[in-house]
Amino acid sequence: MNYEITGHTGLTALLGSPVSHSISPQMHNRAFRELGLDYVYLAFDVTPHQLKEAFLGLKSIGIRGFNLTMPLKTAILPYLDGLTPAARLAGAVNTVYREGDSFIGHTTDGIGYMQSVSDAGYEILGQKMTLLGAGGAATAICVQAALDGVAAIDVFKRKNSTFSSASAFFQKVAEETGCTIRLFDLADTRRLAESIGESAILTNATSVGMAPDLEQSVLPDASLLHPDLIVSDIIYNPRQTRLLSQAAEMGCRTLNGLYMLLFQGAAAFRCWTGQKMPVELIRECYFTETDKKRKDHTP
Ligand code: NAP
């Protein structure tokens, strides 16, 4: 493979803090090389305080597009010229692409999640989802699942200071998508049992179970699971969370967050290049289940 950075090379990037251990530069640069695309992808450590200056600088030198990770997914909103329907509904952006001179914000986290579910061979459209958590990833998943045609989504989160704003958010998504979305207290075990009993998929989008808290599960009782259920945890470090172990013991089909990460990147790649990322190659290079070397994958 002959690849040189030239005077024509288009810049794409990841902005966030921290970003140094992100897998995205390898993923995108390998895909650019494979397809012979004259682009490069670099990671820049940018705090919210530095974002305006960084964005205006990158814009003035003609950046082709970029990803945003924590803590910049909402901080970028005031600087953009437009939002896709999914980004507008989610109120967050992880991908920015250009349309002429305009910079458009998009979110590919939900797309990546839904793609990972279908890639695993699981059919959930027209069925019910129980979604645990209401943070950035959960809201993106909820929006995309509703847009794609999941019939109903029950969201469970802790009843804390963000509960009423979360409730207003999900009500707005329900009104705009026509999907039935209800928000419940995560401590309401009776409702949780009822919802899981009616669902095709249970999705953990909280951070409970993420390394180093390997023994924690967000589920109060494994007997709430049933063998017809798909149990999905968007955590990818570790690959097998306590929740996924509980699910496997109950005979459920399971899915971790690794390929959500791959497919959200593939969707961003398509926005910038108009081309399909060679996902099988990238999966083989950077996303094998047995890859023990990587301790963390910031998108
Ligand atoms: P976030 O915005 O901080 O949201 C975290 C969520 O977890 C909130 O809903 C929070 O509940 C809930 N939570 C935290 N501790 C809890 C506890 N002890 N009990 C119950 N709920 C708890 O984070 P995020 O960006 O959505 O990320 C969430 C997880 O998804 C992380 O583990 C992250 O690594 C993973 N993720 C994976 C991918 C991927 O590509 N696979 C992409 C993005 C994120 P409250 O609302 O009550 O505070």
How much distance in Å is there from the Cα of 84 to the middle of ligand 1? Answer: 23
Q: Report which of 168, 221, 214 is spatially closest to residue 193, judged by C-alpha positions.
A: 221
Residue nearest to atom 40 of ligand 1 (CA): 261
Cβ(43)–Cβ(25) below 8 Å: yes
Atom of ligand 1 nearest to the CA of 137: 26
How much distance in Å is there from the Cα of 59 to the middle of ligand 1? Answer: 31
| H, E, C per residue of the chain | CCCCCCCCCEEEEEEECCCCCECHHHHHHHHHHHHCCCEEEEEEECCHHHHHHHHHHHHHCCCCEEEECCCCCCCCHHHCCEECHHHHHHCCCCEEEEECCEEEEECCHHHHHHHHHHHCCCCCCCCEEEEECCCHHHHHHHHHHHHHCCCEEEEEECCCCCHHHHHHHHHHHHHHHCCEEEEEECCCHHHHHHHHHHCCEEEECCCCCCCCCCCCCCCCCHHHCCCCCEEEECCCCCCCCHHHHHHHHCCCEEECCHHHHHHHHHHHHHHHHCCCCCHHHHHHHHCCCCCCCCCCCEC
Atom of ligand 1 nearest to the CA of 258: 41
Q: Report which of 78, 186, 188, 67 is spatially closest to residue 135, judged by C-alpha positions.
A: 186
How much distance in Å is there from the Cα of 16 to the middle of ligand 1? Answer: 17
What is the pLDDT, as a whole number, of residue 291? Answer: 46
Q: Which of 52, 73, 128, 292 is catalytic?
A: 73
Atom of ligand 1 nearest to the CA of 158: 47
Residue nearest to atom 21 of ligand 1 (CA): 206
Separation CA 172–CA 279 (nearest Å): 34
| Residue percentage of the chain with pLDDT more than 90 | 89
Which residue(s) pair with 14 in the sheet? 43, 67
Residue nearest to atom 34 of ligand 1 (CA): 235
How much distance in Å is there from the Cα of 190 to the middle of ligand 1? Answer: 23
- Residue 57 vs residues 54, 63, 66, 236: alpha-carbon distances, Å: 5, 9, 13, 34
Atom of ligand 1 nearest to the CA of 186: 20
Cα-to-chain-centroid distance, residue 209: 17
Query: Residue 212, exposed/middle/buried by CB under 10 A (0-12, 13-18, 19+)?
Result: exposed
Which parts of the chain register pLDDT below 70? 1-2, 289-299
**pLDDT tens-digit series, residues 119-134:** 999 999 999 999 999 9
Residue nearest to atom 46 of ligand 1 (CA): 134
What is the pLDDT, as a whole number, of residue 288? Answer: 81
Q: Report which of 100, 66, 93 is spatially closest to residue 77, judged by C-alpha positions.
A: 93
Separation CA 98–CA 121 (nearest Å): 33
Within 6 A (CB) of ligand 1 lie 109, 112, 133-138, 157-158, 160, 162, 186, 205-208, 210, 218, 234-236, 257, 260-261, 264, 299
How much distance in Å is there from the Cα of 227 to the middle of ligand 1? Answer: 25
How much distance in Å is there from the Cα of 70 to the middle of ligand 1? Answer: 12
**pLDDT tens-digit series, residues 95-111:** 999 999 999 999 999 99
Cβ(235)–Cβ(207) below 8 Å: yes
What is the pLDDT, as a whole number, of residue 289? Answer: 62
What is the pLDDT, as a whole number, of residue 3? Answer: 73
Residue nearest to atom 35 of ligand 1 (CA): 235
- Residue 253 vs residues 78, 151, 247: alpha-carbon distances, Å: 41, 20, 7
Is 73 noted as a catalytic residue in this protein?
yes
What is the pLDDT, as a whole number, of residue 2? Answer: 55
What is the pLDDT, as a whole number, of residue 212? Answer: 87
- The answer for residues whose C-beta is within 8 angstroms of residue 27's C-beta and 6 or more apart is 262, 265, 282, 286
